[in-house]
Amino acid sequence: MNWTDERVELLKKLWAEGLSASQIAAQLGNVSRNAVIGKVHRLKLSSRGRATAAPAAKKKMVATPTTVQRTVTAAARPATAQPPRIITTTVGANALQMQFDAEPVANQQIRPASDVVVPISRRLHLVELSERTCKWPNGDPLSEDFSFCGNDAKDASPYCGYHAKVAFQPVGERRRAR
């Protein structure tokens, strides 16, 4: 794949927007992140504020006005549920780092007869997925807020524990589909 004007232009744009080299590579398609980084250097548009990796959560950045952290004392969390945890995600190199409570909107109707853990999606976008993030889709692919589960996928599975169960139904529980 050669660097057409359009591809270079997109590269510049995305780089300026703070996307990581791998994300840009994924979006351009057919190029490795190394190729992107190499090109960035040749174009002499390195830099981008601060940076080596994700400097977001550095020591004293300006402030963290949007950091909200709550410890949930979940009222009715089944014993089989996962402990409350905080999910941290970073968008872009010098972009905001969002930290939010992973606990779902406390009204999840948990079927009594189920011992399945409620899925907690990270709502990632396509370019944010890696080989070990759950690729279970949420919502309409054509919709704006379409996202993927994004939780850790076990081993080489394309899904996290919960979605793997949903995706690969045990033959014993499968009702004769039609």
Candidates 10, 12, 27, 37: give the one binding DNA (CB under 7 A): 37
Selected range binding DNA among 19-27, 63-71, 143-151, 170-178, rule: CB under 7 A: 19-27
CB of 90 to DNA, least distance (A): 8
Per-residue burial over 135-155, b if 16 or more Cβ lie within 10 Å, else e, is: bbebeeeeeeeebbbbbebee
The answer to whether the CB of 32 falls within 8 A of the CB of 40 is no
Token pair, residue 139, equals 């919502």
The answer to whether the CB of 50 falls within 8 A of the CB of 94 is yes
Number of residues forming the site for DNA (CB under 7 A): 29
- Closest-CA residue to 157 (of 178, 131, 123): 131
CB neighbour list of residue 108: distance below 8 Å, 6 or more residues apart: 118
Token pair, residue 7, equals 């591809």
Backbone angles phi, psi at 86, to 5 degrees: -100, 130
CB of 52 to DNA, least distance (A): 5
* Interface pattern 43-82 for DNA (x via CB under 7 A): ---xx---xxxx--x-------------------------
Is residue 20 part of the contact set for DNA (CB under 7 A)? yes
* Interface pattern 127-146 for DNA (x via CB under 7 A): ---xxx--------------
Which residues would be at the binding site for DNA (CB under 7 A)? Answer: 1-3, 20-23, 31-35, 37-42, 46-47, 51-54, 57, 93, 130-132
